[in-house]
Amino acid sequence: MTANTTTTPGTASAVSPLTAADRCDRCSAAARVRAVLPSGFELLFCKHHFNEHRTMLETQGAVLLEDAPVAPVAAV
């Protein structure tokens, strides 16, 4: 299996897709959006908190990467 990465305009590094292990920095729910700030710092948000903070992130020039929902990790 090959990992998919996306190079985002305005960032120098490749960004990995979100996984089921990625959690919102505000509430620990599953992350659905990665916000890359102009400084290079990344924040992860669930949809609820992304919607709450979207305007401010856009105003600050963040690159916003929305991922499709990730399937839960299967129990072994």
Give the distance between the most distant pair of CA atoms in the chain.
44
pLDDT level of residue 67 (50, 70, 90 thresholds): confident
Mean pLDDT of 56-64: 96
DSSP at 33: E
Q: How far apart are CA 9 and CA 6, in angstroms?
A: 10
Of 30, 28, 25, 27, the closest CA to residue 57 belongs to 25
7-38 pLDDT per residue, tens: 344 443 567 888 889 999 999 999 999 999 99
